[in-house]
Chains A and B, each alone.
Chain A
Amino acid sequence: MNSDSLWEVFINACLINNFVLAYFLGICPFLGVSAKLETASRMGVAVCVVMLVSSICAYFIHRVLQALNAPYLQLIAFIVVIASTVQLVEMFIKKASPTLFRALGIFLPLITSNCAILGVALFQTNKGYDFIQSIVYAFGAGLGFMLALILMAGVREKLALARLPDTVEGTAISLMIAGVLSLSFMGFAGLG
């Protein structure tokens, strides 16, 4: 059992150990979907939702596997159950709210196999969080992801207007910006 307070868990997941800027999880969408502010914020919301869903799944999978005494199935169970749950959520949203589906829908299948999603499941299990802590952790991680994505998109929108040497265009300059963002997020260390 982990005795960290909920505030510590939240700040830790959201700022100090930001999933993108400190753990490097979910770099692909971070670099791929951060060109426009609007897409970035939608993607961020979608990631938040999926993280919450997968965190709840992961908590119960972990409990079931503990009861069955089968730790070796953990990884496979996480992957399979999270992927199928996200599919279910997607279908449900499609039926229940077509507008919401149009806003988030295309991102959902994209992020199912995202390392940030599996990362939440694995880290909360490794740290031995209980149910409430897990949910707070997932929520913090999702918000942190969204924050990083939106910050990045803001910078890149400005960057589109700047004149760059063509050697640095594309991934190279994005990585450099991410480095500076990561450097500034280091200032949050020690908050918890």
Chain B
Amino acid sequence: MQPEKPIVIRKEVVRRGSADEFLKGLWRENPVFVQVLGMCPVLAVTNSAINALTMGLATAFVLLLSNLLVSCLRHYIPPQVRIATFILIIATFVTVVDYLIQAISLEIHKSLGAFISLIVVNCLILGRAEAFASRNSIGRSLLDALGMGAGFTFALLCMGGVREILGGGTLFGVALFADNYQPWVVMILPSGGFFTLGAWLLLFNRIKQRQQRKQPRLQARLQEMGSEQ
């Protein structure tokens, strides 16, 4: 009986840990809204929801594969050349994604343009390879990449959705309003990208502040309740 208990506990810890590995990228450490990483694609290709989605998926794909390979090779890469090898690996996968997208649809490739190639300099991917994948097991690196990729895609969709609805009155190309809706063209233009991201960051700052303000109050109330009892 006795030796079983710690094993169960350890399993639980690991399981909670791995779920957390995935979820942290989605919300608590969201690469765009919290860490403010990889701004170029976030602003440049989010003038429609479909572009945003493709870009998010392409980035997530590169992130997943490069995290996988970096994690596999982490014992064989000496620290002196690690950045060089990481960049080489990332550039390879970006080239692969570039060709895959061209094979699937030229239309999408044309609308994303050179920004697919520019995934290579997205600090998010190099950052995850350096900070996480080169130090953790393959499984955890994959989970981390999935979470971060999903978080990045989610953030891009938030941007693209808002900009497309306001700037064109459509979402994924489907008209949402009646014909007399006057689109707010500025939102699809470059400056709209800055405004939308600024507004999202404002929202996140506000949420964070409210949580911080709530926390001491909550603790104080808990203490009060404790002392009353």
Which stretch in B10-18, B114-122, B168-176 binds the other chain? B114-122
| Separation of A166 and B198 alpha carbons in the complex (Å) | 14
Q: Which of A67-111 contact B (CB under 8 A)?
A: 72, 74-76, 79-80, 83
* Residue among A28, A80, A180 making CB contact with B39, cutoff 8 Å: A28
Q: Is the CB of A122 within 8 A of B117?
A: yes
Chain B residues contacting A31 (CB-CB under 8 Å) are 36, 39
A40 within 8 A of B: no
| Separation of A21 and B40 alpha carbons in the complex (Å) | 11
Q: Which of chain A's residues has its CB closest to B197's CB?
A: A175
| Separation of A158 and B39 alpha carbons in the complex (Å) | 25
Which stretch in A46-54, A113-121, A129-137 binds the other chain? A113-121
Tally of contact residues, A, Cβ under 8 A: 39
Chain A residues contacting B98 (CB-CB under 8 Å) are 75
| Separation of A24 and B197 alpha carbons in the complex (Å) | 12
B69 within 8 A of A: no
Answer whether A167 and B121 are a contact pair too, CB < 8 Å, given A22-B190, A72-B95, A72-B99: no
Residue among B40, B92, B94 with the highest chain A CB neighbour number at 10 A? B40
| Separation of A123 and B40 alpha carbons in the complex (Å) | 15
Q: Is the CB of B118 within 8 A of A118?
A: yes
Chain A residues contacting B99 (CB-CB under 8 Å) are 72
Chain A residues contacting B122 (CB-CB under 8 Å) are 115
A168 within 8 A of B: yes
Q: Is the CB of A24 within 8 A of B198?
A: no
Chain A residues contacting B126 (CB-CB under 8 Å) are 113
Q: Is the CB of A25 within 8 A of B40?
A: yes
Q: Which of B79-129 contact A (CB under 8 A)?
A: 87-88, 91-92, 94-95, 98-99, 113-114, 117-118, 120-123, 126
Which stretch in B51-59, B138-146, B150-158, B199-207 binds the other chain? B199-207
| Separation of A126 and B99 alpha carbons in the complex (Å) | 16
Chain B residues contacting A183 (CB-CB under 8 Å) are 186, 189, 191
Q: Which of chain A's residues has its CB closest to B45's CB?
A: A24
| Separation of A186 and B113 alpha carbons in the complex (Å) | 21
Distance of A9 from chain B, by nearest CB (Å): 17
Chain A residues contacting B192 (CB-CB under 8 Å) are 179
| Separation of A176 and B118 alpha carbons in the complex (Å) | 24
* Residue among B44, B88, B123, B191 making CB contact with A179, cutoff 8 Å: B191
Answer whether A114 and B205 are a contact pair too, CB < 8 Å, given A22-B190, A182-B190: no
B64 within 8 A of A: no
| Separation of A78 and B44 alpha carbons in the complex (Å) | 21
| Separation of A123 and B118 alpha carbons in the complex (Å) | 11
1/0 per residue, CB under 8 A from A, across B35-47: the answer is 0100110011000
Q: Is the CB of A123 within 8 A of B202?
A: no
A171 within 8 A of B: yes
Chain B residues contacting A176 (CB-CB under 8 Å) are 194-195, 198
Q: Is the CB of A186 within 8 A of B118?
A: no
Distance of B173 from chain A, by nearest CB (Å): 23
Q: Is the CB of A119 within 8 A of B202?
A: no
Chain A residues contacting B201 (CB-CB under 8 Å) are 170-172, 175
Chain B residues contacting A15 (CB-CB under 8 Å) are none
| Separation of A171 and B122 alpha carbons in the complex (Å) | 18
Residues of B at the A interface (CB closer than 8 Å) are 36, 39-40, 43-44, 87-88, 91-92, 94-95, 98-99, 113-114, 117-118, 120-123, 126, 186, 189-195, 197-198, 201-202, 205-206, 209
Query: Assuming A167-B209, A173-B198, what are 8 further A-B pairs, CB within 8 angstroms?
Result: A24-B40, A24-B44, A75-B94, A76-B95, A113-B121, A114-B121, A167-B205, A179-B194
- Shortest 8 CB-CB distances between A and B: which pairs? A179-B194, A175-B198, A182-B191, A27-B39, A24-B43, A183-B191, A172-B201, A24-B44
15 contacts between A and B (CB under 8 A): A24-B43, A24-B44, A28-B39, A28-B123, A31-B36, A31-B39, A76-B95, A79-B87, A122-B117, A122-B118, A123-B114, A172-B202, A172-B205, A179-B191, A183-B191
